């Protein structure tokens, strides 16, 4: 603990040469300032990239059937095949580690003509047939009513859920659409809900905000698909990874549809878990690099503090010698030197930390209010734990900077100090 006299003495020593003290402290200030800026920028890019896939289950994989690339069991390569509802049931029963499986069927209009109408107002939108659990994979906000439910599926009801843009274009803003009848691709459906996608940047078979969502069974009947669909998405349970489950599901489908065991081209997969993991490792590497660069910059400032403290000890040789002659113990001398180094370093570090956080808070406020939907830099600020870590590093740096000067101080002998003038 420092008493007030001790603190005053330390401050007078630092203030004795203001210019030298300020220049010395600047190295520490700059090191912490750069570390904070780099950490905040790293977090900004991390948040920006993750926002591009926000709303999708990060443990999900989309699997699409593709023409075979190998001949097998009398079939020529290039054969078209489709998974069906019996495959979905088989996956649920046989493949362990699958949390959810959701088949999807889509209809697109390619001529640009309006295909969805309410009264005289129309728009051009894709139709997407899904199961009730799809909302847990491609997450969205329910603005009105509800999503597709199990009764809609079992009874193949002619109901629909409108994406927000479809609702606004063909019905109008602020009108309650529930119960209204719309015509999509020539068939009338009753509106039971309106949804808005959490993320409009990533879409599989069309954004939820820009589609008309139907019960899968209703679409299968309307388009004579039987029990078939375009593709399906599955999620993994805790403790499993998508790569292993992909292999098991592919092997199961190969067996059920007479596909060659080595035919990888018969499947097209988009693995969100792989993308998310790639992002995680990328930013772990960036954070490690940032800490290395930031701490390296800070250490250069610490070396400067240590050098100046050695010069100060040299200048105060007579003072230290007199104290030793009057009975000052080595611990008192060490504490005095370490306290001066610590105070100088901590003051400079705290100023750098506060200034860095303040500047990035201003930048974050500006960036977060930008209207663009394609922002790749979002909320560039450091977390509380990073700020605490930076503070601890500053304190340790102050102690480190005072080690060599303290050792040099206690090596001064009283008789040698008195001879110096």
Residues 30, 71 within the same domain? no
Are 242 and 316 found together in one domain? no
Query: Of 214, 236, 263, which closes a domain?
Result: 263
Same domain for 85 and 153: yes
Domain boundary among 263, 293, 318: 263
Residue at token pair 């701490």: 295
Residue 235 lies in a domain: yes
Residues 183, 136: one domain? yes
Burial class (CB in 10 A: 0-12, 13-18, 19+), 373: exposed
- Do both 199 and 110 map to the same domain? yes
Alpha-carbon gap, residue 19 to 308, rounded angstroms: 12
- Are residues 155 and 223 both part of a single domain? yes
Q: Which SS3 state, helix, strand or coil, does residue 243 take?
A: helix
Do 318 and 412 have their domain in common?
yes
List per-residue pLDDT tens for the chain, 421 residues long: 445 655 665 666 666 666 767 777 788 888 888 888 888 888 888 877 777 666 667 788 889 999 999 999 888 989 999 899 999 999 999 999 999 999 999 887 767 788 899 988 989 998 999 999 998 888 888 999 999 999 999 999 999 999 999 999 999 888 899 999 999 988 999 999 999 887 666 667 777 888 999 999 999 998 888 888 888 999 998 888 888 899 999 999 999 999 999 999 999 988 888 878 887 888 888 888 888 888 888 787 777 777 777 776 666 666 666 666 666 676 667 777 777 777 778 888 888 888 988 888 888 888 777 665 556 777 788 878 888 888 888 888 777 777 777 777 666 665 655 555 5
64 with 49, same domain: the answer is no
Query: Would 102 be classed as within a structural domain?
Result: yes
Are 250 and 213 members of one domain? yes
Measured distance CA(417)–CA(403) in Å, rounded: 21
Name, in order, each residue with C-beta under 8 angstroms of 396's C-beta and a sequence gap of 6 or more.
Answer: none
- Of 229, 263, 297, the last residue of a domain is 263
Residue 268 domain flag = no
- Other beta carbons less than 10 A from residue 283's beta carbon: 18
- The number of distinct structural domains making up the chain is 2
Q: Please indicate, yes or no, whether residues 158 and 198 belong to a single structural domain of this protein.
A: yes
- Statement to judge: residues 216 and 74 lie in one domain: yes
DSSP 76: P
Q: What gap in Å lies between CA 311 and CA 177, rounded to an integer? A: 80
Tell me which residue range forms the domain holding 177.
Answer: 60-263
Alpha helices in 52-184 (DSSP H): 85-94, 150-154, 164-170
Confirm if 312 and 13 have CB atoms less than 8 A apart. yes
């Amino acid at each position: 603990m420092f008493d007030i006299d001790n603190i005053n003495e330390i401050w007078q020593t630092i203030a004795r040469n203001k210019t030298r003290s300020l220049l010395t402290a600047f190295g520490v200030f700059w090191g912490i300032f750069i570390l904070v800026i780099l950490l905040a920028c790293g977090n900004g890019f991390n948040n920006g990239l993750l926002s591009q896939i926000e709303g999708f289950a990060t443990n999900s994989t989309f699997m699409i059937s593709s023409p075979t690339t190998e001949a097998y069991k009398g079939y020529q390569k290039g054969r078209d095949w489709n998974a069906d509802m019996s495959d979905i049931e088989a996956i649920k029963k046989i493949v362990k580690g699958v949390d959810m499986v959701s088949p999807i069927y889509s209809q697109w209009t390619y001529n640009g003509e309006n295909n969805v109408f309410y009264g005289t107002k129309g728009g051009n939108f894709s139709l997407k047939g899904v199961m009730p659990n799809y909302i847990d994979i491609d997450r969205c906000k329910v603005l009105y009513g509800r999503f597709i439910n199990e009764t809609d599926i079992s009874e193949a009801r002619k109901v629909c859920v409108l994406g927000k843009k479809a609702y606004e274009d063909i019905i109008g803003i602020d009108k309650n659409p529930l119960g209204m009848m719309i015509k999509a691709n020539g068939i009338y459906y009753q509106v039971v809900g309106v949804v808005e996608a959490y993320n409009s940047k990533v879409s599989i078979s069309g954004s939820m905000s820009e589609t008309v969502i139907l019960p899968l069974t209703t679409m299968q009947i309307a388009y004579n698909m039987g029990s078939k669909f375009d593709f399906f998405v599955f999620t993994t349970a805790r403790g499993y990874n998508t790569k292993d489950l992909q292999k098991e599901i592919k092997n199961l489908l190969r067996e059920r549809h007479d596909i060659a065991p080595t035919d990888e081209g018969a499947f097209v997969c988009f693995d969100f878990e792989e993308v998310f993991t790639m992002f995680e490792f990328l930013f772990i590497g960036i954070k490690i690099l940032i800490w290395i660069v930031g701490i390296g910059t800070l250490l250069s400032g610490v070396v400067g503090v240590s050098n100046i403290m050695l010069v100060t000890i040299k200048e105060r040789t007579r003072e230290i010698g007199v104290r030793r002659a009057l009975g000052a113990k080595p611990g008192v001398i060490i504490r005095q030197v370490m306290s001066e180094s610590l105070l100088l370093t901590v003051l400079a570090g705290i100023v750098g930390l506060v200034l860095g956080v303040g500047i990035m808070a201003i930048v974050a406020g500006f960036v977060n209010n930008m209207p663009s939907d394609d922002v790749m830099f979002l909320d560039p600020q450091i977390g509380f734990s990073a700020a605490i870590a930076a503070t601890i590093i500053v304190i340790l740096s102050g102690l480190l900077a005072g080690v060599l000067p303290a050792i040099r101080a206690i090596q001064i002998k009283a008789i040698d100090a008195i001879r110096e003038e």
